[in-house]
Structure formats: C-alpha cells, structure tokens
Amino acid sequence: MRLIFLAVLSLAAIPAAAQAPASPGGEVAAMAPALDRATGALLDLDVGPIIDAADPYGRGRYLRRQRTLRDIAGRDDPYFEHRLRGQIYGTTAAMARMMDAFAAAEPAMRRSLLEMERSIHFALRDARRPLPPPEVDDDWDLELDEDEPYDD
C-alpha cells in the first residue's frame, strides 16, 4: 500500500518539478491583489477622531458620514478608486518588468563587477611599485619647424 502511495505521489510531483522557476517579476505581480486589498482596508479607516483632534473648532467642514479616507479622498473625484486600483496594478506590473530585466542582466552585471574588482586589484598592486622617471624634453620650446617661418 505504501509503495502505491509513493508511486502516485512521485507521479504527481513530476509536473511541479518540470515547471520553469517563477520569475522575480512574477512574484511581484502576484502581490498586486494583496496590495489592493490592504489599500482598501486602509481607505476604510475612520479618521474622524484624528480630524476632530487636529481641528476641534472646524465642526462644519467634515460631515459625520464622510470620515473615512475613502470618503474624504473620493469626495471630489468620482473615479478615485478606479484610478487608485489602476495605479496599484500598473505600478506592480512595471516593477515586475523591472525585476525581470534585472534578473536577465544579472550575469552581465556580475561579470562587469568581477572585471572591475580585478582591475582595481591590479591597479593597487601596481601603485605600490615605483614609477620609472618620466622622459623630460628640455628643448621643447626650441623646436621650430624649419620650413615655416616663425610669425608673432
């Protein structure tokens, strides 16, 4: 019985093992719905007591029914929630593309950093050696072209 159970379990694991690993961008894009729900919960926060404490004499400015962040932010914009959700999903999609681009560029960046590390190592090693004396041209101002006369 155990042998049959292990055989079925191993056959079920083959498709999961054969799948390509998830990209880093896919993980970021998958967080968009959770971020949307968290933002929705934050928008339902009643900020009335905070408003009353900050401005105790402004009784007429905020109606009692418009005391959540959703009501206050969407008071002048009927498309507030639609635009906010679009920004959430659009930003996470852009971040997913950026993460995928970084993942694709990672091997080249790693090689470049290793080359830079090697170059710095050789530069520091060579900096400890004394430099040969420079060749000095003492008669640099006396060399005039014989074919052209010198004009002031």
User: What confidence category does residue 28 fall into, taking pLDDT thresholds of 50, 70 and 90?
Assistant: confident
Domain ranges of the chain: 22-127
pTM (2 d.p.): 0.55
SS3 string, the chain, reads CHHHHHHHHHHHHHHHHHCCCCCHHHHHHHCHHHHHHHHHHHHCCECHHHHHHHCCCCCCCCCCCCCEHHHHHCCCCCCHHHHHHHHHHHHHHHHHHHHHHHHHHHHHHHHHHHHHHHHHHHHHHHHCCCCCCCCCCCCCCCCCCCCCCCCC
Instruction: Please compute the mean of the pLDDT values over residues 21-35 and round it to a whole number.
Output: 82
Write out pLDDT tens, residues 85-135: 999 999 999 999 999 999 999 999 999 999 999 999 998 888 888 777 777
